[in-house]
């Protein structure tokens, strides 16, 4: 069966996390992704290593299903080989610091001259303006995209979330841009520039907090647990501040992840009141309606917690789901990596690697019935030099040896 992006070729000049998370998805959709690395390799091959002299999990978990070539883009021959490849590829993706590709001698204008069908995607920290030339990492984007100000508890400092919304979140936005550009090229015959700023991607994911910023002008945010409001959206702990109240309540035996997140929809109140042993609250006007409960959500969740602390989170999950009450136990990373249903869904998958042996990674979260993803290991540094420069670009064996000796590849 042909894969969705079979025949699409991606020159992948991404590094670290944001860019590689994007091109890995393209590879799982069936594109031929060729990762160009400086001869020293993507810096993450050596970062956070758990085993000596073996590509880190940081690298192996973000670069599956790609081929790897090395190329020194600052050498004259390197630029020639790159030019040859650009002619033959559909997509160039990169996330270097601002201006790096231009400094290599490849402006967008130049790239268009070489290949007018090329789609050129870049991830940067920021859009045009005062921050354009600034570098950015995950938490910088969380800080400047609205996430940190709205994450955490009211009386604590701003918090970073563990979800990599700045890096992988931006990578996923970039996938959407690239796929749209590929589709538009079907009609125009032309490639185009795709740019995504990490600050913008985080802000897109924090959209509802700007909703609440504007609601504040018309009064307090009653769905928030906070008692006092100033002129900016406060951190609201584990309350989403959305239409249905929710909170993480403690469970037995009281470990750091023995919590369950419970949402109380209007229809959920009656079964919850029964479950927690407070059936008299079902018809009590002080408790019976969502409006009546709104000003005492903290008390409501305390009542639920007084019950849940006596049960394990898996039992609470079962009991609440018997009544169709939306809830989710807080799963630790250990529980997730050992979860049978996630393995069955091939979202937690095991991959073999010639140097590190078997490792676990997160598989393809987007399921296509006609284009199922097969997760294959990440490439070793320069593993496909001979295949791509030799067989595909026609570089002779002798020159290949010279290029290696001269540090071009």
Ligand X SMILES: CC(C)(COP(=O)(O)OP(=O)(O)OC[C@H]1O[C@@H](n2cnc3c(N)ncnc32)[C@H](O)[C@@H]1OP(=O)(O)O)[C@@H](O)C(=O)NCCC(=O)NCCS
- What stretch of H or E contains 36? strand 32-37
Of 132, 158, 64, 136, give the one whose Cα is nearest residue 376: 64
- What stretch of H or E contains 168? helix 168-188
367 is a site residue for ligand X (CB under 6 A): no
Q: Is 55 tagged catalytic?
A: no
63 is in an annotated binding site: no
96 is a site residue for ligand X (CB under 6 A): yes
Shortest CB 70 distance to ligand X, Å: 7
Q: Are 48 and 201 in contact, with CB atoms under 8 Å apart?
A: no
Nearer to ligand X, 18 or 192 (CB): 18
**Region binding ligand X by CB under 6 A among candidate stretches 90-98, 235-243, 293-301, 377-385:** 90-98
Nearer to ligand X, 43 or 276 (CB): 43
Give the CA angle between residues 256, 260, 266 to the nearest 5°. 155
Of 93, 82, 122, 114, give the one whose Cα is nearest residue 33: 93
Q: Are 89 and 115 in contact, with CB atoms under 8 Å apart?
A: yes
Number of residues that bind ligand X (CB under 6 A): 24
Tell me which of 32, 55, 90, 167 is the catalytic residue.
Answer: 167
**Region binding ligand X by CB under 6 A among candidate stretches 55-63, 118-126, 233-241, 271-279:** 118-126
**Which residues make Cβ contacts (< 8 Å) with residue 124, sequence separation at least 6?**
95, 98, 132, 136, 195, 196, 197, 198
Shortest CB 101 distance to ligand X, Å: 8
74 is in an annotated binding site: yes
Shortest CB 78 distance to ligand X, Å: 7
103 is a site residue for ligand X (CB under 6 A): yes
| 3-state DSSP assignment of residue 69 | strand
Q: Which of 4, 84, 104, 383 binds ligand X (CB under 6 A)?
A: 104
Edge to edge, the sheet with strand 327-329 lists 246-250, 259-263, 327-329
Nearer to ligand X, 136 or 249 (CB): 136
* β 66-70/193-197 pair status: unpaired
Q: Which of 4, 100, 263, 343 binds ligand X (CB under 6 A)?
A: 100
Site string for ligand X, 159-178 (x = CB under 6 A): --------x-----------
Q: How far apart are CA 174 and CA 180, in angstroms?
A: 10
Buried b or exposed e, range 50-74, using 16+ CB within 10 angstroms: eeeebbbbbbbbbbbbbbbbbbbbe
> Which letter does DSSP use for residue 13 in this model?
E
**Region binding ligand X by CB under 6 A among candidate stretches 129-137, 203-211, 319-327, 378-386:** 129-137
| 3-state DSSP assignment of residue 322 | helix
Site string for ligand X, 196-225 (x = CB under 6 A): --x---------------------------
Q: Which residue is nearest to ligand X (CB)?
A: 97
Q: How far apart are CA 117 and CA 236, in angstroms?
A: 48
192 is in an annotated binding site: no
Shortest CB 179 distance to ligand X, Å: 19
Phi, psi of 20 (to 5 degrees): -60, -30
125 is a site residue for ligand X (CB under 6 A): yes
Site string for ligand X, 17-56 (x = CB under 6 A): xxx----------------x-x------------------
147 is a site residue for ligand X (CB under 6 A): no
Question: Which region holds residue 277: left if phi is over 0, alpha if psi is between -120 and 50, else beta?
Answer: left
Q: Which two tokens stand for residue 344?
A: 């069955």
What part of residues 52-81 is at the interface with ligand X (CB under 6 A)? Answer: 71-74
Q: How many residues are there in the chain?
A: 409
16 is a site residue for ligand X (CB under 6 A): yes
Shortest CB 165 distance to ligand X, Å: 12
Edge to edge, the sheet with strand 193-197 lists 66-70, 32-37, 9-13, 91-94, 119-124, 193-197
Q: Which two tokens stand for residue 9?
A: 């070729």
135 is a site residue for ligand X (CB under 6 A): yes
222 is in an annotated binding site: no
Q: Which of 92, 121, 136, 388 binds ligand X (CB under 6 A)?
A: 136
Question: Which residue reads 């290593």 in tokens?
Answer: 49
- Known binding-site positions for CoA: 17-18, 71-74, 95-97, 103, 135-138
Q: What is the set of active-site residues?
A: 167
**Which residues are part of a known binding site?**
17-18, 71-74, 95-97, 103, 135-138, 242-244
The residue ranges that bind ligand X (CB under 6 A) are 16-19, 36, 38, 71-74, 95-97, 100, 103-104, 123-125, 135-137, 167, 198
Annotated binding site for substrate, which residues?
242-244
């Amino acid at each position: 069966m042909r894969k969705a992006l079979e025949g699409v070729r991606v020159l992948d000049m991404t590094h670290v996390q944001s860019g590689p998370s994007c091109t890995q998805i393209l590879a799982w959709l069936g594109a031929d992704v060729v990762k160009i690395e400086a001869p020293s390799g993507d810096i993450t091959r050596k970062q956070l290593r758990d085993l000596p002299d073996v590509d880190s999990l940081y690298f192996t978990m973000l670069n599956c299903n790609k081929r790897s070539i090395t190329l020194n883009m600052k050498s004259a021959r390197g630029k020639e080989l790159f030019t040859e490849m650009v002619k033959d590829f559909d997509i160039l993706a990169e996330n270097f610091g601002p201006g790096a590709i231009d400094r290599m001698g490849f402006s967008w204008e130049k790239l268009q001259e070489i290949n007018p069908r090329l789609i050129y995607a870049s991830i940067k920290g920021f859009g045009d303006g005062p921050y354009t030339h600034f570098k950015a990492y995950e938490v910088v984007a969380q800080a400047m995209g609205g996430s940190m100000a709205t994450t955490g508890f009211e009386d604590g400092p701003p918090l970073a979330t563990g979800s990599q919304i700045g890096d992988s979140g931006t990578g996923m936005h970039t996938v959407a841009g690239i796929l749209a550009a590929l589709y538009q090229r079907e009609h125009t015959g032309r490639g185009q520039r795709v740019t995504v700023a990490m600050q913008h991607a985080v802000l897109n994911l924090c959209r509802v907090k700007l909703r609440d910023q504007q609601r504040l002008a018309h009064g307090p945010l009653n769905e928030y647990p906070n008692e006092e409001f100033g002129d900016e959206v406060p951190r609201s702990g584990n309350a989403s501040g959305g239409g249905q109240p929710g909170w993480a309540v403690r469970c037995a035996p009281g470990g750091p992840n023995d919590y369950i997140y419970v949402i109380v929809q209007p229809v959920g109140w009656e079964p919850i009141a029964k479950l927690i042993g407070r059936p008299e609250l079902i018809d009590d006007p002080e408790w019976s309606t969502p409006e009546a409960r709104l000003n005492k959500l903290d008390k409501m969740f305390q009542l639920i917690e007084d019950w849940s602390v006596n049960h394990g989170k898996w039992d609470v999950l079962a009991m609440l789901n018997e009544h169709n009450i939306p809830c989710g136990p807080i799963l630790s990373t250990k529980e997730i990596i050992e979860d049978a249903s996630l393995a069955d869904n091939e979202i937690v998958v095991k991959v073999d690697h010639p140097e590190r042996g078997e490792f676990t990674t997160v598989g393809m979260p987007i399921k296509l019935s006609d284009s199922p993803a097969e997760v294959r290991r990440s490439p070793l540094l320069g593993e496909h030099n001979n295949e791509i420069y030799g067989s595909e670009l026609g570089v002779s064996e002798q020159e290949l040896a010279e290029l290696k000796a001269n540090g071009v590849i």
